[in-house]
Amino acid sequence: MKIQKRLLLSILPVVIVVTGIILIISTTVSTHNMESSITENAQLLNSSYSHQLNYKLIQMKRISKNIATAIITAVNVETVLIDSRKNNPEFNRVFYSTIDGEIIDMAPYNSSIKNYNFTRYSEWAKVIKTKKTHITDPVEFMGNKSFLLFTPIVIDYLIDKEAKITGILVSVISTDYVFDKFKNIVYGDTGSIFVLNKEGYYIYSTSNEDIMTKQFRDTESDNNLTYIENAMTKSNDGIAIFYSGSDKYFVSFSPVINEKWSLGIIGLYSEFTKDIYKLFLINILILLIGTALASIIIYFIVKGVVRPLTTLTDMAEKISHGDMTLRSKLSIKNEIGILSRAMDGMLEHLATYNQKLEKKVLERTKELYKSNEELTTTIEELDYTNKALETTRDALWTEISLAEKLQKILLPKNPHIDNFEIAAFMKTADSVGGDYYDVINIEGRDWFLIGDVSGHGVTSGLVMMMVQTSIHVALSQNPDIRPEKLLTIINETIYNNISKLGGKRYMTLTVFACLDDCTFSFAGAHLPIIIYRKKTERLEIIETPGAWIGLVENITDMNRDKTFTMDNGDTILLYTDGLTEATKKSGELFSQESLMNLFKENSKKSPKEICDKIAKISTALEIDDDISVMILRKVGP
């Protein structure tokens, strides 16, 4: 097959595929944008209508409340009722009644409804119970669909008496007035607006009066109607889909907050998406026309390009067999012409390049022999250096091992406090860690503490040792020192030492002083304290909102002593973040919540058994930091 046909058959499918992809993307994006626009507009309209209806209900209640207030101080109630109707013509009738339902006055007066029983409506009892205004669903009143608005007439006493209902104002308001803004609204050719009460029954619809006694879910057989009704009666807003036969409908809904109603808009889906099909047909037509035009253009382009390429291809094949006498005779002024002239120049200089290349290879061979001799010498020097590094490494590991042993010696072997069971363990990320826990008994005062130096390794271990030494010295000089004062002294010492080490290090540290058998004072900033309370079998979390050690030179006034108590059987858990920030095999953090659950599940075991359980679980975790745990349980009198 000629190259011209091969190029044409190679390019044309690409053009068709690219055009098809563009068509699919364009149609998909256009369809999505049109559907989004339809749903957004429906939701915006729905929200606007529900807010208008909600505002009208608020206005009706406000006017009714003003009339009720005027009745309390009125000399002539009938005059108040007549004037209120003149000022508010939307109130078809107003009645002043006792709480027993006896009508005292009305406007306009009509003797035929003098004995009308308003107490039969459930909203009447709600008004008496809540002393708030309530509105009925639409009812037939004197031949008209109306809402009955019941407003309590309440007297508020200034001193020692509860507000009292002296009567109830009944306002009759036509449903036509309440929903007058929706009558002439047209939403497409088939769309309609409706309102549901809080039980899901229709109280208004622009499409069909026959459904006014039905629940929304009963109007069609689609199960989605039940879901939509539940969402509307729960005062939610949104957009949903349901089917009536083979027709697909969407319904947009928003709550009418004041009365726990819900306003909805229903529209036939196909009515608003019919333009999408037209758009698809137009895109198909564009694809066919574009493909035809592209084929014609590509044919002529390929024809013009391939002819000189064939000449150059034949020439290159002969050159590959050693014929260097050929020259191209193409005089075209484009990239192919440039390629032709380049081939001519290449042939003229190829012989010269071959001669230079042979000379260059000889020179490089000599250089390689010389480089090989130098490399042999360098390898011998590297071997000597490697042996020196191994000696230095062995000495360094000896020093690290010494630091590790020293750190273990500084930790309490058999921590003891009278009337307490104590257990603890430490697991370092490196040979030397920065975690620190301690139990100190000095001159009748018991102390225990836990801390964590930032980072890990030899430097962190060194800072931890300095802190341990400083604490023991400070307590030996003043056993009765307050925790917050102890931290201030330790910080002054450690800050200067950390500065000399270089870099930035700090330490989270909380110290606890045993004031008596059941009361403890503590200060400092570390992870939250977790206490298991035996009486309630609950965990209590105590935060440690103090200051870190070694970060700033002076932490005076940054720490405050706090206290807590422990009863017999109560257990306290102290720990470092190497445990809570460790990861499980699944990649999930072990977390403080997991630690609390583990602690509570094993709370009836001894501190030693709890520590062993935590230590066992930690072996299955991936840790990046040191882990320390200390558990104390009060067992004394």
- Cβ-count burial 275-298 (b if 16+ within 10 Å, e if not): eeeeeeeebeeebeebeeebeeeb
CA pair distance 202, 209, nearest whole angstrom:
10
To the nearest 10°, report the CA torsion of 62, 68, 72, 77. Answer: 130
Higher pLDDT, 248 or 19: 248
What is the DSSP code (8-state) at residue 443?
T
User: Residue 97: is its pLDDT beyond 80?
Assistant: yes
CA pair distance 479, 475, nearest whole angstrom:
5
User: Residue 428: is its pLDDT beyond 50?
Assistant: yes
- Residue 605 has a pLDDT of 97
> Which of these, 121, 123, 129, 72, lies nearest to 96 by C-alpha position?
72
- Residue 153 has a pLDDT of 92
CA pair distance 234, 580, nearest whole angstrom:
41
Q: What is the pLDDT of residues 254-308, one digit of tens each?
A: 999 878 899 988 888 777 666 666 767 787 888 788 778 877 877 777 666 666 6
Q: What is the pLDDT of residues 49-71, one digit of tens each?
A: 889 989 999 999 999 999 999 99
User: Residue 223: is its pLDDT beyond 60?
Assistant: yes
User: Residue 514: is its pLDDT beyond 70?
Assistant: yes
Higher pLDDT, 494 or 292: 494
Q: What is the pLDDT of residues 526-583, one digit of tens each?
A: 999 999 999 999 999 999 999 999 999 999 999 999 999 999 999 999 999 999 999 9
**In the Cβ-directed half-sphere of 73, how many Cα atoms lie within 13 Å?**
5
- Report how far Cα 479 is from the mean position of its chain's Cα atoms: 50
Q: What is the pLDDT of residues 434-488, one digit of tens each?
A: 899 999 999 989 999 999 998 877 788 889 999 999 999 999 999 999 999 999 9
Taking CB atoms within 8 Å and a gap of at least 24, the contacts of 220-223 are: 220/244
224, 214 in Cβ contact below 8 A? no
Peptide bond into 607 cis (omega under 30): no
Alpha helices (H) along 411-482: 458-477
Which percentage of the chain shows pLDDT scores above 90?
41
Which percentage of the chain shows pLDDT scores above 70?
85
CA pair distance 570, 517, nearest whole angstrom:
12
Higher pLDDT, 141 or 318: 141
CA pair distance 435, 428, nearest whole angstrom:
8
Contacts of 545 (CB under 8 A, 6+ apart): 525
CA pair distance 264, 239, nearest whole angstrom:
9
Average pLDDT over residues 378-397: 59
- Claim: this prediction has a pTM higher than 0.75: no
Three-class DSSP labels, 519-563: EEEEEEECCCEEEEECCCCEEEEECCCCCCECCCCCCCCCCCCEE
**268, 392, 432, 452 from 401: Cα distances, Å:** 80, 14, 8, 20
Full set of structural domains in the chain with CATH: 21-53+180-273 (3.30.450.20), 67-178 (3.30.450.20), 321-410 (no CATH), 412-634 (3.60.40.10)
- Report how far Cα 387 is from the mean position of its chain's Cα atoms: 56
- Residue 396 has a pLDDT of 47
pLDDT bracket for residue 377 (50, 70, 90): confident
CA 506-510-515 angle, 5° bins: 155
Contacts of 255 (CB under 8 A, 6+ apart): 50, 232, 235, 236, 237, 261, 262, 263
> Which of these, 234, 235, 192, 199, lies nearest to 217 by C-alpha position?
199
**In the Cβ-directed half-sphere of 48, how many Cα atoms lie within 13 Å?**
9
Please provide the average confidence, as pLDDT, over all residues in the chain: 84
DSSP SS3 for 447: strand
Joined together, the tokens standing for residue 78 give 């009938």
- Report how far Cα 146 is from the mean position of its chain's Cα atoms: 47
Alpha helices (H) along 252-334: 269-320
DSSP lists the bridge partners of residue 494 as none
Q: Which helix (H) or strand (E) holds 176?
A: helix 175-178
Q: What is the pLDDT of residues 164-204, one digit of tens each?
A: 898 999 999 998 898 888 877 776 677 788 899 988 888 88
